[in-house]
């Protein structure tokens, strides 16, 4: 059994298409197909259902691809560990980040890169927490920044990062006469733009409103916080976003941030890595950076 055969098999399981898998592995389609056939003969089980094109993995293939991913991840981790002992950390750290944390991820990636200048970091945003946890389990990502609730985090190591708090953001003219806070019912009278339903940040808002017997129908919805902020910057819109966005990107001139009356609407944001041991040396180093970041804040 060759690592190359396992790489081709994992690529095919991911792409669900022979040509795309071959392209991802930088080989010809016949070479990839033959390598997988050799793997099937060696293991003495069919791994792939074939027709004119790829149809699916067999039940045996679905089970064995989990082992293939783990073997390849351990192989990569071994190579990283050896290089780290000789020259320090190198390679590429693959990090998945929920949209709400895209403004704060530099809190860990910047010091991580400063401490490990030979490591490249690939950050993917616009991913949902469930997608990130699934890809971390499949070793397709080294780590992820997610909302842990209500995700299934079995098999993952959780490192606390911070707790975000929702605030109202609006043009100053819309908030004339307001002090530093606003009630939810008064906030709903403003022309609202919010995240799309189903996104964790929107669910937090909808749940807070439901607890108060309220509901919202925004005039504009988007899956991007940046889109919401640019609308608010016109002075004619209001939104509810995590305070952490304002820490990283101060509000435009003429825009104010107000706290919302009542119990604060909060959510934990954490770093997740695969709990398999010894695991990726890059993931372990990122965990240490996250812990150093948290401890530097003090009690």
Of 147, 170, 173, 150, which is closest to residue 160 (Cα–Cα)?
A: 147
pLDDT in tens, the chain (299 residues): 789 999 999 999 999 999 999 999 999 999 999 999 999 999 999 999 988 788 899 999 998 988 888 888 888 888 877 877 667 788 899 999 998 899 899 999 999 999 999 899 999 998 899 999 999 999 999 999 999 988 889 999 999 999 999 999 999 899 988 888 999 999 999 999 999 998 888 999 999 999 999 999 999 999 888 899 999 999 999 999 999 888 888 888 889 999 998 888 999 999 999 998 877 889 999 999 999 987 666 44
Q: How many domains does the chain have?
A: 2
Residues 271 and 240 in one domain: yes
Q: Does residue 283 sit in the same domain as residue 183?
A: yes
Assigned domain for 167 exists:
yes
105/188 same-domain check: yes
> Cα separations (Å) of 192 from 169, 171, 203, 257?
10, 11, 15, 14
- My answer on whether 221 and 272 are in the same domain is yes
Residue 87 lies in a domain: no
Same domain, 181 and 33: no
From residue 121, give the alpha-carbon distance in Å to each of 124, 162, 291: 10, 21, 18
Write down the pLDDT at residue 299.
41
Confidence at residue 298, expressed as pLDDT on a 0 to 100 scale:
44
3-class DSSP state of 240: strand
Last residue of a domain, which of 70, 104, 121? 70
Strand pairing partners for 255? 171
How far apart (Å, rounded) are the C-alpha atoms in residues 169 and 184? 13
Helix 106-115 with 281-296: angle, nearest 10 deg = 120
Q: Does any domain span residue 64?
A: yes
Query: Is residue 80 a part of any domain in this protein?
Result: no
Q: Are residues 167 and 255 in the same domain?
A: yes
Q: In this structure, are 12 and 106 located in the same domain?
A: no
Q: Check whether residue 40 and residue 181 sit in a common domain.
A: no
- Shared domain for 262 and 188, answered yes or no, is yes
Is 88 part of any domain? no
Same domain, 281 and 234: yes
Has residue 81 been placed in a domain? no
- Asked if residue 143 is part of any domain, the answer here is yes
Does residue 84 lie in a domain region? no
The parent domain of residue 50 ranges over: 3-70
């Amino acid at each position: 059994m060759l690592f190359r055969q396992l790489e081709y098999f994992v690529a095919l399981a991911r792409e669900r298409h022979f040509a795309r898998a071959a392209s991802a592995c930088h080989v010809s389609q016949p070479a990839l197909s033959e390598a997988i056939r050799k793997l099937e003969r060696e293991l003495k089980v069919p791994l792939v259902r074939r027709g004119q094109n790829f149809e699916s993995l067999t039940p045996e293939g679905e089970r064995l691809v989990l082992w293939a991913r783990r073997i390849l991840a351990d192989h990569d981790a071994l190579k990283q560990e050896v290089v780290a002992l000789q020259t320090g950390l190198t390679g590429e750290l693959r990090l998945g980040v929920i949209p709400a944390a895209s403004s704060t991820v530099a809190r860990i990636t910047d010091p991580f890169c400063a401490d490990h200048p030979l490591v490249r970091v690939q950050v993917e945003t616009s991913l949902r927490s469930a997608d990130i946890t699934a890809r971390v389990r499949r070793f397709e990502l080294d780590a992820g920044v997610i909302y842990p609730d209500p995700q299934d985090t079995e098999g993952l190591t959780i490192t606390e990062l911070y707790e975000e708090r929702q605030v109202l953001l609006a043009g100053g003219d819309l908030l004339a006469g307001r002090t530093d806070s606003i009630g939810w019912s008064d906030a709903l009278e403003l022309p609202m733009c919010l995240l799309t339903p189903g996104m964790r940040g929107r669910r937090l808002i909808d749940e807070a409103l439901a607890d108060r017997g309220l509901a919202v129908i925004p005039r504009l919805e988007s899956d991007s916080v940046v889109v919401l902020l640019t609308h608010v910057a016109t002075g004619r819109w209001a939104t509810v976003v995590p305070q952490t966005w304002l820490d990283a990107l101060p509000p435009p001139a003429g825009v104010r941030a107000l706290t919302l009356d009542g119990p604060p609407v909060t959510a934990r944001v954490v770093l997740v890595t695969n709990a398999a041991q010894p695991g990726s040396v890059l993931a372990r180093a990122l965990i240490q950076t996250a812990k150093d970041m948290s401890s530097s804040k003090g009690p």
